Structure 1
Amino acid sequence: MSVDINVIGSHKIRSIPGGEQVELKTFWQDQDAVVIFFRRWGCMLCRLWAKELSEIAPVLKKNNIKLVGIGVENAGSKEFLEGKFFDGELYHVDDISTYHTLGFKRFNVVSIITSLFWKQSREAIAKGRGMGLGGDYKGDWVQTGGALLVEKGGNVIRHFVQTGPGDHLNNKDILKHFNLEAEYKEETMANKVRDNIECNKPSDKLSVKNFLPFEPIHVIWCSRRCKQTKV
């Protein structure tokens, strides 16, 4: 999917915590920008991605590349800020249409459950739990996000769309798009799954009745697959 940068640039977002309204295009008018669209602030996998991105924040800053994180809504942003998960500016969209315009997928109850069993999700959950990132159930938990890497003036050099909640554009690729491969340090920037982090999974198989909407789907996932995991 191609992005009309003029259209997306006119979409309005609000700063966190101040609430000041700006247009997306202000991020790339005068400098290169890495704009990350998170799923929701209480999502443990989003917190993990934010922590990983913070590992390259000093490199981006040194090269005058703005790092911005955007959420679907304001709900949960206070806890996200207090947790200091992200070393960049934070905003939330005024309208979910911004995510739709960028082609970010919206899951349903069945597909979000399925996505949490994917290898990328399992590995991210294990890593997040090992780092003690926590999470909560606030907000829109079926929307996915992605990223826009934009050169000064509005040339899109990468439009990344998440395939699932654990799908993250890695640090090496981000730096490569800005010709900063030499700045990449694998030992600290590799988005690696930490050693000896294992998700304690029960051997019993999940049944359809476990996913009836009598409680939030993330509560079901937590209790059944990874205790205290919030995705």
Structure 2
Amino acid sequence: MAMRLDVINSSTGIRLPLIDYRAAARLGNPKRPNRILPLLRLRKSNSRSFCPFIRSIRSAADSFANAPSFKYEDITSSLQNVEVFDLTSKAVPIVDLWRNRKSVVAFARHFGCVLCRKRADVLAANKDLMDAADVALVLIAPGTVDQAISFFEQTKFKGEVYADPSHSSYDALNFAYGVSTTFTPKAGMKIIESYLEGYRQDWELSFKENTRTKGGWQQGGILVAGPGINNISYLHKDKEAGDDPNIEDVLNACCSKPIF
């Protein structure tokens, strides 16, 4: 059943429809709409007098719409016992990657993924901006250290690379997983675009046993955190393969002063 919330201005008695949950439900979960839709319709004769009122309603609605649907403290708590491995096979607590610095942490689908290689390249292209803001660039993927080394050597990635053979960080962050999130029309178009731009899938890495059994259906995301293990300023979770975030949002989150 559709729910509707109206606001009545006390001075004029005009009823203002503020939220139409039926419309919001079409954008996502009806119990947790992705976006609050301000539906303000005013009679022309009263539109000027309501300008401040409209602005305040819109501002409140925008704030609610942009609020994260997760608690950052819950994220760091779930990551406390997670370890990843650097290229020397040393185990590193994942929260140490941003404990004493700010870091952009890209979680790839797997080390052979063409879409992940393009995303890594896009992030690395902005490393000068990150360096200027003392921000580290990190990439993590499911797989072995040997696969991580192959990825690093093939791509010449400018940041740090870590392996997560057990998927523990992906499970802790509750990243999307499954065949239905991998084979989608959007992912197909992204793959074609990537190949046209010169990027290539590493099929040998893609068909390693641990990738075929787990990593092939795994989705990733991007985290911006630190300094301080509880200081998380941005988290994007890919809904499907190729669900890239806006790079401007990532760069604005990783720098102390907005770039854009």
Q: Which residue of 1 aligns with 2:182?
A: 112
Q: Secondary structure at the match of 2:217?
A: coil
Structure (1 or 2) with the larger CA radius of gyration: 2
Does residue 131 (structure 1) correspond to residue 209 (structure 2)? The answer is: no
Q: What is the Cα deviation at residue 22 of structure 1?
A: 0.6
- Whole-angstrom CA distance in 2 between matches of 1:36 and 1:112: 18
The 8 Å contact of residues 181 and 239 in structure 2, kept in 1 or not, is answered as no
Q: What is the Cα deviation at residue 175 of structure 1?
A: 1.2
Q: Which residue of 1 aligns with 2:166?
A: 95
Normalising to structure 2: TM-score of the pair? 0.63
- Whole-angstrom CA distance in 1 between matches of 2:125 and 2:181: 31
Q: What is the Cα deviation at residue 28 of structure 1?
A: 1.4
Q: What is the Cα deviation at residue 180 of structure 1?
A: 4.3
Which of residues 215, 221, 236 is equivalent to 1:146? 221
**Structure 1, unaligned runs of 5 or more:** 185-231
Q: What is the Cα deviation at residue 122 of structure 1?
A: 4.0
- Whole-angstrom CA distance in 1 between matches of 2:169 and 2:79: 7
Kindly provide the CA deviation profile for residues 13-51 of structure 1, in whole angstroms up to 9, marking residues without a partner as x: 0012x1111101111121111111111011100111011
The more displaced of 124-133 and 148-157 is 124-133
Kindly provide the CA deviation profile for residues 44-101 of structure 1, in whole angstroms up to 9, marking residues without a partner as x: 0011101111111121122111111000112643432222253200001142232111
Structure 1 residues 111, 23: CA separation in 2 closer, same or farther (over 3 Å shift)? closer
- Whole-angstrom CA distance in 2 between matches of 1:147 and 1:167: 11
**Structure 2, unaligned runs of 5 or more:** 1-69
Describe how 1:21-40 pairs up with structure 2 within 5 A: 21-40=91-110
Does residue 11 (structure 1) correspond to residue 82 (structure 2)? The answer is: yes
Q: Which residue of 1 aligns with 2:123?
A: 53
Question: What percentage of residue pairs aligned between the two structures are identical?
Answer: 22
Q: What is the Cα deviation at residue 124 of structure 1?
A: 2.4
The 8 Å contact of residues 45 and 124 in structure 1, kept in 2 or not, is answered as yes
Q: How many residues align?
A: 177
- Whole-angstrom CA distance in 1 between matches of 2:152 and 2:228: 30
Q: Which residue of 2 aligns with 1:212?
A: none
The 8 Å contact of residues 127 and 137 in structure 2, kept in 1 or not, is answered as yes
Does residue 168 (structure 1) correspond to residue 238 (structure 2)? The answer is: no
Q: Secondary structure at the match of 1:25?
A: helix
Normalising to structure 1: TM-score of the pair? 0.70
CA RMSD of aligned residues (A): 1.9
Q: Secondary structure at the match of 2:182?
A: helix
Does residue 81 (structure 1) correspond to residue 156 (structure 2)? The answer is: no
The more displaced of 71-80 and 32-41 is 71-80
The structure richer in helix per residue is 2
- Whole-angstrom CA distance in 1 between matches of 2:99 and 2:156: 26
Q: Give the residue type in structure 1 aligned to 2:85.
A: R
- Structure with the larger RCO, 1 or 2 (CA within 8 Å, 6+ apart): 1
